[in-house]
C-alpha cells in the first residue's frame, strides 16, 4: 500500500496535494478513457511552485476546462493540471502548437501517465497479436483511440513523428477512431509508443476483445462486383441499342452477330463473378429446403443467360444480355445500400470488451504490469481507483469501495473490508486496494453468464425475414405459372412457343424489384435512425422491432442517469459559509458520495485549508475547517462524534452533516430519472406491455409503479440470470420482447430478448452485445423509434405490392409468349426504379410522421456519433 493512504493520519493540505500529484493515482483515474475520477481532484490541486495565482477561473490552454483554484501557469498560459501542462510543453517542443488553433478546445484533459502502465506491451506474445506487420527494422501497429474527436486530433496524431524520432508515419482512420503507426522497434518500444500517445491525451484502448479479435479482412468484394456489373451493363446496353431502335437495318446482320457475341463475352464475368453470391445463396437455401428470394433470382438469371445464349448462337436475335447485366447491377446496388454498417460500434462485444488488457501484479520483486490472460488464481493484484477488478478476488488490504452498477445494477458503491469477497467487473472507486484472485478470469461470477445457451445461437443467419416469407408464396406462383404456360402451349400444339413462354416467365418474374424493396426501405430507415441516435445492427432488426409487443427496462443507467445524481438537502438551509466548509471537507475524500457533493456544491470551498482530516471507510469523514469541526457520514459515524440523530432511516443514499457537534441535516443523493421518462412510460404503456427488471433494491418501487401502470411487472434485486429467465418466460408465453438495458448485468436479457437495446452515454463507451445501440439522450425517443419501425415494415409491404403488380403485367405478357428483349429492357429497370424511389421517399415521409426528423426537445447528442 502507498504509505500516505493510511487512515486516521493527520494531514495538511500540502501532503494531500502530494498524494494528488502522485502519478500512480492520476494514471488510475484516467483508466478506461474517463477522467471523471480526477475531475474533483484536478480542481483542488494547488501548485507546488510560485506559479500559482488566485485568479478567476480561466479556461485551460490545453483542454479548455476552467482552471479552478488557480491551476498552473507556464509560458503565460493557464493550465488546469500538470497533465495538460505537460502535453502543452511536449507539443511546443515538437513545434506543434498549431494544434490549438484548430478548434475551440481540441485537447482532452490529460493524465500523468503511469510509467509502468503499458509495460505488458513489451511481452512478445502480446506484441505479436497487436502488430499488423514487423520485419525487425520496421513495425506497424493499429491502435483504437476513442478520444479522437476532431480535425486537430487527426493532425496531431499524424504529426507524431515530430515528437519521437522512432516514429515513422501515422495515419488516422477517423470513422473507426483508429491510428496506424509505423515505427522502428529499435528506437521506440511498443510500450513507449503507447505511453507517448497516452501522454498527449490519446491513450489507446486495449481490451481483451481487441487482442482476441481477428483482424477483419476489408470488405472490398462487393464494390468490385458492382464495378464489373456496371461496366458490362453500360457496354452491353450500347450494343443492344441499334436493334432496339431498328438501326440494324442499316448496319446489316454482320454487326448484329458481332454485337451478340461481344455482349455474350462481356456478360460472362457478370454471371460468374458479380452474381456469384446469388448462386451460392440459392444453392444453400435449396439444400436447407427453404425458399428464399435468391432462388427465383438465380433461376431468372439462369433462364436469361440460357435463352440469350441460344438466341445468339442460333442467330435468332441478340438475347437479353443487357437486362441480365442491369439486373445484377441493380441487385448489387441494393445490397450495397443495406450493407453500410456502423464500423466501430461493437454490436457483439462481450465481457472481454469491458476488461482491460493488463493488470498490475504485486510480487516479491515489486509491481509489474501483466497481460490479463496471464492472471492466475492466487495472484496478488493492485487495483487503483477507477480500475476494474478483473477476476473474483479476496480483498487483502485497503478500503474497498466497489461500484457494481455495471455488473449488478446496484446504484450505490458498496464498502468492503479486507477479507471480503469481491466479484469481477466491479470498479474500485476509493483508494488503491490489493486483492488476491480466487478464480481465473474466465470463470468468475460475471463471465459465467456467457455460458448460457442464449449466447450460443447465431442471430444473423436466419431465413425468417419479411422478404423470405413473401418469396415462398412468390416462388411457388412463378413455378406454377411457368409450368402452366409450358403445358398450355404444348397442349395447344405449339411446344416451341411453350418453351419460350416457360423461360420468359422465369425471366420476367425474376424478382429484382421485390428484392430491392426491403433493402432500400430498411437501409433508409437505418440511416434515419442513426441520425436520430439509434444504431441498429441490420435491417432485420427493424422488422423485429415492428413486431415487439413487450418492453422490459433496466433501471440504473437506462431510466436513470447514474452520473447526474441529484443532491437534495433535508434540514435548515445552509449558509454559503457552511456550504463551502462542507465542500472543502468533501474535496479531501475520494469516496463517490463526497465527490458527488463536491460536484453539487460547485466552486465552493476551494483553497480552504483543512486540518485533522479523518476518514473511516463505510463510516464517514471529518476535519477542522476554518476553526470548526465538520463531520459528514452515516448515523453511526455522527453518533460516534456525539451527535445523535433520532429520525428513522428511509431508504436511499444519505450523508448526515454535523458541525461542532450540532446536527445540520442530511444530504439525500438520488439517482435522477432521465427527463421525460415518466411521459415515455405512460405513453408506451398504452400500446405495449411493460416490465421493469432492476438489479437495484426496491426503495424506488412506488415511484416507478406509478409510471409503469398497474399491470406492469416490477422486479427488483434481479440477478443477471433472473433477468434472462424473465425474458425467456415472456417469450414462452408468445410475447415478442425488447429488452432495454445498459450494463453487463443486462447482457443475458439483451441477448435473449427478440431485440436487445443497449443504452450508451457516448460513442466508444462499452456496451454489451445488442441489436440496437441507443444514445442515452434518446431513450425518451423509444416510442418514436418503435412507431417508425412499424411504418417502415408497412412500406416494405407496399413495395412488395408495387413490384408484384409489375410482375403481374410482365408475366401475363410472357405467358402469352410475346416477350421481347425490348419489353424486358424497359420493364425491368422501370420496376426497379419505381420501387427504389417509392421506398426511399415513403420512408423519409414516415420518419417525419413519426417525429424522427423534427427537431426534438433534447439536444441532438448524436452528432458525436459516427455518421452513416
Partner 1 sequence: MEVIVILIIASLLLAGSFLGVFVWATRTGQFEDTTTPAMRILTDDPPATHTSNSLPPSPKTEPS
- Judged by the rule CB under 8 A, the positions of this chain that interact with partner 1 are 93-96, 98, 102, 133, 135, 138, 140, 151-152, 154-155, 158-159, 161-165, 167-169, 171-176, 182, 218, 220, 223-224, 227-228, 231, 234-235, 238, 251-252, 255, 258, 262
- Give the shortest CB-260-to-partner 1 separation in angstroms: 13
**Closest to partner 1 by CB, 66 or 234:** 234
- Give the shortest CB-245-to-partner 1 separation in angstroms: 15
**Closest to partner 1 by CB, 231 or 716:** 231
- Residues sharing a CB contact under 8 Å with residue 668, sequence separation 6 or more, in sequence order: 567, 568, 569, 570, 652, 653, 654
Closest CA to 621 of 667, 672, 671, 575: 667
**Closest to partner 1 by CB, 174 or 716:** 174
**Closest to partner 1 by CB, 262 or 499:** 262
Between the alpha carbon of residue 198 and those of residues 98, 110, 114, 191, 499, the distances in Å are: 20, 8, 9, 10, 72
- Give the shortest CB-224-to-partner 1 separation in angstroms: 6
**Closest to partner 1 by CB, 523 or 605:** 523
Dihedral angle computed from the Cα positions of residues 460, 466, 472 and 478, in that order, rounded to the nearest 10 degrees: -120
Helix, strand, or coil here: 149? coil
**Closest to partner 1 by CB, 252 or 642:** 252
Mark 297-316 as b/e (b = at least 16 C-beta within 10 Å).
bbbbbbbbbebbeebbeeee
- What is the Cα–Cα distance from 120 to 677, expressed in whole angstroms? 45
The 8-class DSSP code of residue 274 comes to I
**Closest to partner 1 by CB, 174 or 455:** 174
C-alpha cell at 58: 480561466
- Quickly tell me which residue has 509508443 as its cell: 193
Helix, strand, or coil here: 185? coil
- Give the shortest CB-238-to-partner 1 separation in angstroms: 8
Helix, strand, or coil here: 339? helix
- Give the shortest CB-356-to-partner 1 separation in angstroms: 27
Helix, strand, or coil here: 663? strand
**Closest to partner 1 by CB, 138 or 480:** 138
- Residues sharing a CB contact under 8 Å with residue 181, sequence separation 6 or more, in sequence order: 140, 141, 142, 143, 160, 167, 168, 169, 170, 193
C-alpha cell at 125: 506474445
**Closest to partner 1 by CB, 14 or 169:** 169
Q: Taking a C-beta distance cutoff of 8 angstroms, is the pair 722, 691 a contact? A: no
- Give the shortest CB-96-to-partner 1 separation in angstroms: 6
Question: Edge-to-edge strands of the sheet including 178-183?
Answer: 131-134, 139-144, 178-183, 167-173
SS3 of 497-564: HHHHHHHHHHHHCCCHHHHHHHHHHHHHHHHHHHHHCEEECCHHHHHHHHHCCEEEECCECCCEEEEE
**Closest to partner 1 by CB, 166 or 440:** 166
- Give the shortest CB-168-to-partner 1 separation in angstroms: 6
- Give the shortest CB-77-to-partner 1 separation in angstroms: 17
- Give the shortest CB-268-to-partner 1 separation in angstroms: 14
**Closest to partner 1 by CB, 216 or 855:** 216
Pairing of strands 380-383, 433-437: antiparallel
- What is the Cα–Cα distance from 553 to 562, expressed in whole angstroms? 15
- Residues sharing a CB contact under 8 Å with residue 223, sequence separation 6 or more, in sequence order: 336
- Give the shortest CB-140-to-partner 1 separation in angstroms: 7
- Give the shortest CB-339-to-partner 1 separation in angstroms: 14
Q: Taking a C-beta distance cutoff of 8 angstroms, is the pair 563, 765 a contact? A: no
- Give the shortest CB-82-to-partner 1 separation in angstroms: 21
**Closest to partner 1 by CB, 165 or 564:** 165
Closest CA to 813 of 520, 518, 551, 509: 509
- Give the shortest CB-210-to-partner 1 separation in angstroms: 19
- Give the shortest CB-310-to-partner 1 separation in angstroms: 24
- Give the shortest CB-330-to-partner 1 separation in angstroms: 18
**Closest to partner 1 by CB, 158 or 436:** 158
**Closest to partner 1 by CB, 269 or 675:** 269
**Closest to partner 1 by CB, 193 or 758:** 193
Phi-psi region of 43 (alpha: psi -120 to 50; beta: other; left: phi over 0): alpha
C-alpha cell at 203: 491513450
Q: Taking a C-beta distance cutoff of 8 angstroms, is the pair 615, 634 a contact? A: no
Amino acid at each position: 500500500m502507498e504509505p500516505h493512504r493510511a487512515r486516521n493520519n493527520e494531514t495538511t493540505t500540502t501532503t494531500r496535494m502530494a498524494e494528488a500529484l502522485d502519478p500512480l493515482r492520476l494514471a488510475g483515474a484516467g483508466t478506461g478513457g474517463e477522467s471523471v475520477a480526477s475531475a474533483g481532484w484536478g480542481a483542488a490541486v494547488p501548485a507546488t511552485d510560485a506559479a500559482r495565482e488566485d485568479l478567476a477561473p480561466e479556461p485551460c490552454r490545453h483542454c479548455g476546462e476552467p482552471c479552478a483554484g488557480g491551476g498552473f501557469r507556464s509560458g503565460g498560459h493557464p493550465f488546469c493540471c500538470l497533465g495538460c501542462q505537460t502535453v502543452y510543453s511536449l507539443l511546443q517542443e515538437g513545434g506543434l502548437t498549431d494544434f490549438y488553433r484548430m478548434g475551440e478546445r481540441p485537447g482532452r484533459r490529460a493524465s500523468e501517465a503511469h510509467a509502468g502502465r503499458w509495460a505488458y506491451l513489451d511481452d512478445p506474445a502480446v506484441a505479436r497479436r497487436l502488430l499488423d506487420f514487423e520485419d525487425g527494422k520496421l513495425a506497424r501497429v493499429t491502435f483504437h483511440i476513442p478520444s479522437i474527436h476532431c480535425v486537430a486530433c487527426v493532425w496531431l496524431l499524424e504529426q507524431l513523428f515530430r515528437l519521437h524520432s522512432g516514429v515513422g508515419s501515422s495515419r488516422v482512420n477517423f470513422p473507426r477512431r483508429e491510428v496506424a503507426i509505423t515505427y522502428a522497434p529499435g528506437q521506440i518500444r511498443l510500450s513507449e509508443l503507447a505511453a507517448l500517445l497516452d501522454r498527449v491525451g490519446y491513450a489507446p484502448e486495449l481490451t481483451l476483445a481487441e487482442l482476441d479479435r481477428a483482424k477483419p479482412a476489408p470488405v472490398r468484394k462487393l464494390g468490385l462486383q458492382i464495378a464489373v456489373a456496371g461496366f458490362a451493363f453500360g457496354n452491353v446496353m450500347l450494343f443492344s441499342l441499334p436493334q432496339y431502335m431498328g438501326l440494324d437495318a442499316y448496319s446489316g446482320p454482320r454487326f448484329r452477330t458481332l454485337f451478340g457475341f461481344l455482349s455474350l463475352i462481356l456478360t460472362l464475368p457478370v454471371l460468374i463473378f458479380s452474381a456469384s453470391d446469388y448462386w451460392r445463396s440459392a444453392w444453400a437455401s435449396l439444400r436447407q429446403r427453404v425458399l428464399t428470394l435468391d432462388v427465383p433470382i438465380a433461376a431468372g438469371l439462369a433462364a436469361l443467360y440460357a435463352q440469350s445464349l441460344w438466341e445468339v448462337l442460333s442467330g435468332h436475335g441478340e438475347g437479353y444480355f443487357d437486362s441480365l447485366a442491369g439486373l445484377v447491377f441493380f441487385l448489387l446496388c441494393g445490397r450495397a445500400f443495406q450493407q453500410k454498417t456502423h464500423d466501430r460500434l461493437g454490436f457483439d462485444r462481450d465481457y472481454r470488451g469491458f476488461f482491460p488488457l493488463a493488470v498490475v501484479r504485486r510480487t516479491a520483486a515489486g509491481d509489474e504490469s501483466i497481460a490479463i490472460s496471464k492472471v492466475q488464481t492466487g495472484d496478488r493484484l493492485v487495483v487503483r481507483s477507477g480500475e476494474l477488478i478483473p477476476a473474483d478476488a479476496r480483498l487483502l488490504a485497503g478500503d474497498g469501495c466497489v461500484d457494481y452498477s455495471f455488473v449488478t445494477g446496484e446504484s450505490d458503491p458498496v464498502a468492503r473490508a479486507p477479507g471480503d469477497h469481491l466479484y469481477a467487473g466491479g470498479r474500485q472507486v476509493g483508494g488503491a486496494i490489493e486483492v488476491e484472485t480466487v478464480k481465473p478470469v474466465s470463470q468468475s461470477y460475471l463471465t459465467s453468464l456467457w455460458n448460457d445457451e442464449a449466447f450460443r445461437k447465431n442471430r444473423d443467419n436466419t431465413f425468417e425475414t419479411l422478404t423470405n416469407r413473401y418469396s415462398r408464396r412468390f416462388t411457388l406462383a412463378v413455378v406454377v405459372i411457368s409450368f402452366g404456360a409450358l403445358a398450355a402451349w404444348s397442349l395447344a400444339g405449339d411446344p416451341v412457343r411453350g418453351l419460350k413462354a416457360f423461360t420468359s416467365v422465369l425471366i420476367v418474374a425474376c424478382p429484382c424489384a421485390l428484392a430491392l424493396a426491403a433493402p432500400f426501405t430498411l437501409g433508409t430507415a437505418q440511416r434515419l435512425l442513426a441520425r436520430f441516435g439509434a444504431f441498429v445492427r441490420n435491417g432485420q432488426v427493424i422488422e423485429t422491432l415492428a413486431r415487439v409487443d413487450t418492453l422490459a427496462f433496466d433501471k440504473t443507467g437506462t431510466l436513470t442517469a447514474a452520473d447526474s445524481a441529484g443532491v437534495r438537502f433535508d434540514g435548515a438551509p445552509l449558509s454559503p459559509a457552511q456550504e463551502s466548509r462542507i465542500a472543502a471537507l468533501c474535496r479531501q475524500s475520494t469516496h463517490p458520495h463526497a465527490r458527488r457533493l463536491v460536484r453539487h456544491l460547485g466552486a465552493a470551498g476551494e483553497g480552504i485549508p483543512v486540518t485533522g482530516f479523518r476518514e473511516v471507510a463505510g463510516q464517514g469523514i471529518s476535519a477542522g475547517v476554518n476553526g470548526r469541526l465538520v463531520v459528514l457520514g452515516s448515523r453511526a459515524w455522527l453518533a460516534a462524534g456525539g451527535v445523535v440523530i433520532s429520525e428513522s432511516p428511509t431508504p436511499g443514499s444519505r450523508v448526515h452533516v454535523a458541525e461542532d457537534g450540532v446536527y445540520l441535516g442530511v444530504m439525500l443523493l438520488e439517482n435522477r430519472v432521465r427527463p421525460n421518462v415518466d411521459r415515455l412510460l405512460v405513453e408506451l404503456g398504452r400500446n405495449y406491455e411493460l416490465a421493469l427488471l432492476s438489479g437495484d433494491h426496491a426503495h424506488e418501487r412506488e415511484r416507478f409503479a406509478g409510471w409503469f401502470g398497474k399491470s406492469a411487472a416490477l422486479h427488483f434485486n434481479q440477478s443477471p440470470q433472473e433477468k434472462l429467465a424473465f425474458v425467456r418466460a415472456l417469450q414462452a408465453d408468445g410475447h415478442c420482447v425488447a429488452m432495454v438495458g445498459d450494463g453487463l448485468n443486462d447482457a443475458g436479457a439483451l441477448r435473449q430478448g427478440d431485440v436487445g437495446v443497449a443504452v450508451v452515454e457516448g460513442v466508444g463507451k462499452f456496451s454489451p452485445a445488442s441489436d440496437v445501440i441507443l444514445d442515452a439522450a434518446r431513450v425518451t425517443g423509444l416510442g418514436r423509434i418503435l412507431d417508425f419501425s412499424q411504418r417502415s415494415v408497412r412500406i416494405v409491404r407496399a413495395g412488395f405490392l408495387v413490384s408484384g403488380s409489375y410482375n403481374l403485367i410482365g408475366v401475363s405478357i410472357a405467358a402469352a409468349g410475346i416477350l421481347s428483349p425490348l419489353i424486358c429492357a424497359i420493364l425491368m429497370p422501370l420496376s426497379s426504379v419505381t420501387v427504389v424511389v417509392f421506398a426511399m421517399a415513403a420512408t423519409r415521409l414516415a420518419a417525419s410522421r413519426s417525429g424522427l426528423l423534427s427537431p426534438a426537445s433534447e439536444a441532438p447528442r448524436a452528432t458525436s456519433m459516427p455518421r452513416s
